[in-house]
Amino acid sequence: MRVLLFALALVLAVLGCSDGKLNLLLVFWGDREEEELPPPSSSKDEPKSSLSVAKSSSSGKDTPIYSSGENPPALSSGEEPPPISSRGGGRSSSAKTDSLGNTYVDYPALEEGAKGVSRGWATRYWDGCKPHCSWLGNLIDTQNPKPWNGICKNCDKKNNEVTTYKKHPNWTDGLYWAGYLSVPSSCNDPTGTYACWDMAPIAINDTLAYGFAAMNPKIAECGTCYQLEFDGNWYDLENPRPPHRAIKGKTMIVMASNIGEDVKYNVEMKWGTSKGTQFDIMIPGGGVGAFNSFSDQLGLTVADMGVGYGGLLSNCIEGGLAAMGIRDGSHRATLEQWQECLRNECKRVFGGKAKELYNGCMWHVDWLMAADNPTLHYQKVECPKYLKDKYYSKIDTVPPPLPDPYPINGLCMIEGSVDCKQTGWY
């Protein structure tokens, strides 16, 4: 029957149909053929559609690229990507895969003027002091009590993690008074604790890095993270140097381990008309500043650590480049000469010492390209699991225990001033 119908259609086409109508008849015939075919049988081995396949989450097993070329431990698994940007024009956040099959997060580009995006600049330091966020008292807000959310770790002089707090010496079980005090900082007490060396910055790839920073309390609580995208300019002078141009478009995720009013917030930038916020990044060799236990920790002098504010790179700025025979020193140096000078400084101070510190200093050479106080755009993001794993104490994972029995005629006090029960931790 089909053969007869097809022959009839063909005769009609030849007698009076145009090419377009003939095509239409043939298409119509093909559609009818498909309708008459029985539906395919269901099979459990049938490939799933792209809509039914779950997106693979970031495994976090990507091996970061150390500046020195040494491979560090693998990233922690379970890293969550930041929220996908809804703004037009920027890169969307997605998981990328490297040559080894590991994945990492590709953060969206930050657009000036977009909601949540602000301007700022980065400075640097490493004083060795106990992190601000390792003090019990700095986690307390009696006006807005919050449950225990963890505390930043601290380390002893040999870089072993130790507890962040201890019982008050006047502790009296069940009688009049009990309390907890933070272990002192090495910057105030030679028996105190230090910043742990694995909080040095690390390169994940050529355009993404992780690290820790001191931030102003108006934008950050302890453990808050921000995305910094460097814009190729310099905070100190109008005309950027080669290192600033070399890091344009690079992204760094920083987590707040220190909070302080001395870190600037929303102030007039030196150049341009906009206001900006400072991020003081922890970089070994970045300068010991007003407080210092770092040189003693390493058995070095204060002078060994470079200029107090600016550290080893400021050694290059203030004469190191000129000593290399470069005319006008830092004003004429190429990118490669900036890197060479800082690389020599890193080797001088950290060569043959702790790998984490040496690699962190070399990160400033090879990833941040020896840039001095670069400007940036920033916005708040979710913290990568890698940074959380480096930040939170593995010893003090729960709040200090309430005394048992609780003092009948007194109080349990945190830092000698706050009632334990007013912290919101219990």
Residues assigned a catalytic role: 127, 280
What is the spatial distance between Cα 240 and Cα 375, in angstroms, rounded to a whole number? 10
Residue 85 vs residues 57, 108, 120, 388, 404: alpha-carbon distances, Å: 17, 6, 20, 23, 50
For helices 335-350 and 355-366, angle between their N-to-C axes, nearest 10 degrees: 170
Q: Is the dihedral of CA 37, 41, 47, 48 positive or negative?
A: positive
**Quick check: helix, strand or coil at residue 211?**
strand
CA angle (202 as vertex; 270, 217 as ends), nearest 5? 50
128: burial class by Cβ within 10 Å (0-12, 13-18, 19+)?
buried
Residue 334 vs residues 164, 341, 401, 420: alpha-carbon distances, Å: 45, 11, 57, 57
Q: What is the CA radius of gyration of the chain?
A: 30
What is the spatial distance between Cα 287 and Cα 298, in angstroms, rounded to a whole number? 14
Q: What residues contact 290, with CB distance under 8 A and at least 6 apart?
A: 127, 308
The H-or-E segment that residue 244 falls in is helix 242-246
Q: Are 248 and 369 in contact (CB under 8 A)?
A: no
**DSSP assignment string, 96-114:** EE-TTS-EEEEPPPP-TTS
Q: Which amino acid, one-letter code, is at 112?
A: E
For helices 19-36 and 2-16, angle between their N-to-C axes, nearest 10 degrees: 160
